Amino acid sequence: MDSIAGGGAVTTRTPRVARARRLLRRKHRDEDGRFLAEGPQAVREALAAGVVTELFYEPGRGPSVQALADQAEAAGLRTTAAGEQVLAALTETVTPQGIVAVCRQVHVDLAVALGRQPSLVVVLAGIADPGNAGTILRTADAAGATAVIFPDATVDPYNGKCVRASAGSIFHVDLVRGGEPRAVVAALREAGLRVLAADAHGTTDLDEFAAAGGLAARTGWLFGSEAHGLPEDLAAQADARVRVPMHGRAESLNLAAAAAVCLYSSARAQHASGAPR
């Protein structure tokens, strides 16, 4: 256990630890406008994004943890050295990684994100699994999407599992949080985006649509929940309902795999055609 300025050991009851620990719950994240990013990769990206307000780390956890703690101190951020138990209390992972940053929430208004004229936008409509949502956020970033929208009834992007699965991408894109899903889709279309619903039972084949030039436009992709897909009223709003072709005997892809195929098809089409129209 390490001591802090003013003396005394750092425990889970230390006020700054207790305040950070509250952020494991969505209610408190929203009250405080903060969230937790855990592990060297996420903390590195959070520091680069300039959103870290405070850092907790475990001394002796290795050079990458120590280097990030040094970097945070040099930047004038409050850093707290603490024991393994304190770090464990600040995460929900089975194997804590020895470093946790308290971050300012990074989401922007939908109007701001759309005002930047994004070429590729992702809407996660009703996705409940935070690991899936974070994985798609990471894939969206990799495919060149610059805005990712978590409307109402979707998992909280600041959920620890989502932040972890995003592997830093939560700090790279324009993150939008909340909004009635149909209003979000209407706003996308008004901003000049072609809206495509990923739909395992869709009438439009992804590869045929791509070959016909359908993916070269600026595009907003809608992905629905693992269990139920997109709500019918939302899918019906899209310009096309697009299915990933099944070449073998599988009935479907899992959600994150389907999103990877769709988003990389868009990326390929947009890059092949130069700047999207």
Q: Give 250 or 275: the residue with its C-beta nearer to a copy of itself.
A: 250
257 binds a copy of itself (CB under 8 A): yes
- Residue 39 CB, shortest distance to a copy of itself, in Å, is 14
Q: What is the radius of gyration, based on Cα positions, of the chain?
A: 21
- Residue 140 CB, shortest distance to a copy of itself, in Å, is 8
Task: Select from 107-115, 174-182, 231-239, 250-258 the region that touches a copy of itself (CB under 8 A).
Answer: 250-258
Query: What are the tokens at 67?
Result: 């280097």
- 96, 151, 168, 179: which one binds a copy of itself (CB under 8 A): 168
Q: Give 14 or 139: the residue with its C-beta nearer to a copy of itself.
A: 139
- Residue 227 CB, shortest distance to a copy of itself, in Å, is 13
Q: Give 20 or 43: the residue with its C-beta nearer to a copy of itself.
A: 43
Least Cα distance to 262 among 214, 198, 187, 200 occurs for: 198
Of 229-248, which residues contact a copy of itself (CB under 8 A)?
A: 244-248
Which x/- pattern, by CB under 8 A, does the window 132-151 give for a copy of itself? Answer: ---x--xxxxxxxxx-----
- Residue 135 CB, shortest distance to a copy of itself, in Å, is 6
165 binds a copy of itself (CB under 8 A): yes
Residues that bind a copy of itself (CB under 8 A): 135, 138-146, 165, 167-169, 172-173, 207, 211, 244-254, 256-261, 264-265, 267-268, 271-272
